[in-house]
Homo-oligomer: A and B are copies of this chain.
Amino acid sequence: MADKPLAIVAGAGPGLGAALLQKFSDEGMMAVGLTRSGGTGPHDIRACDLCDEKALRATLAPLMQKHGAPQIVVHNTAHLVIQDFLETSLDDFTACWRSMVQSAIMLGQCVLQPMVRDGGGTFIVSGATASLRGGAKFAAFASAKFALRGLTQSLARSFQPAGVHVVHTILDGIIDTPASRDLHSLDPQRMIKPDDLAAAYWALAHQPKSTWSHEVDFRPQTESF
């Protein structure tokens, strides 16, 4: 196992996160998920507060020592707040920013230099429709997703010359999970399948150096836009 290349999925919930871990494992990688509370089940999901740099380094250090710097890192955290601005507390804003932006900053600080040193890899950040449009009840969520997009652009311009491919995805649709089926009265056929998206992320992580994509949108065929 020591030689298996490392993949990190930060924000490894039951939808896309689990599908990514499955895909990366299937492809022979040492796939490790990170969530606040850890996980049980088939995947190696470790409890780690992504906003706590010390905890994050403590979690990643032994993995990187054994497997080298990760070859794939996916940032996939989300904290959804849909609320009138006047009802949205500063805590809501802070929670969105910490969950989605601070965690990406911490993750980048921990992995990007080792990735450069070890010859590259791919750093993928999951955006959303709200990365491009600040809707009426999305002040906290869109503001954080915008911030994450700006950060990711900056990382691409900083680290691509050094060999790390940085990608920002625009997920324009609802990911099919048990929770989203409960929440949305939407035909699952009209949702993004986590396995399809995981395969797409895998492909992004294997783009040849002559054709790197920085921003890619994904939406179900039936999603109007």
* Cα of A96 to Cα of B64 in the assembled complex, Å: 31
Nearest CB in chain B to that of A163: its residue: B221
The answer on a CB contact under 8 Å between B196 and A208 is yes
Task: Pick from A84, A136, A146, A209 the residue with the most CB of B within 10 Å.
Answer: A146
A222: which B residues are within 8 A, CB to CB?
161
A134 touches B106 (CB 8 A): no
Shortest Cβ gap from A35 to chain B (Å): 20
Whether A224 is near chain B, meaning CB under 8 Å from some CB there, is yes
Chain B residues within an 8 Å CB radius of A159: 85
Q: Is the CB of A102 within 8 A of B86?
A: no
A193 contacts B216, CB within 8 Å? no
Stoichiometry (number of copies): 4
Residues of B within 8 A of A199 (CB): 208
Q: What class of interface size applies to chain A in its complex with B?
A: 35 or more
Partner of A149 from the list B105, B146, B148 (CB cut-off 8 Å) is B146
Asked if A2 is at the interface (CB within 8 A of a chain B CB), the reply is no
Q: Is A22 an interface residue (CB 8 A)?
A: no
Q: Which of A3-11, A40-48, A69-77, A150-158 faces chain B?
A: A150-158
> Contacts A208-B193, A211-B218, A212-B220: A225 and B157 contacting too (C-beta < 8 A)?
yes
Asked if A192 and B210 sit within 8 Å, CB to CB, the answer is yes
Interface residues of A in 134-184 (CB under 8 A from B): 134-139, 142-161, 163, 165, 173, 176
A133 on interface, CB distance cutoff 8 Å:
yes
A154 to chain B, nearest CB (A): 4
Flag A60-87 by CB within 8 Å of B: 1 or 0 each.
0000000000000000000000001110
Among B102, B134, B158, B219, point to the contact of A90 (Cβ < 8 A). B102
A217 at the interface (CB under 8 A from B): yes
> 3 tightest A-B contacts by CB?
A134-B153, A146-B150, A147-B147
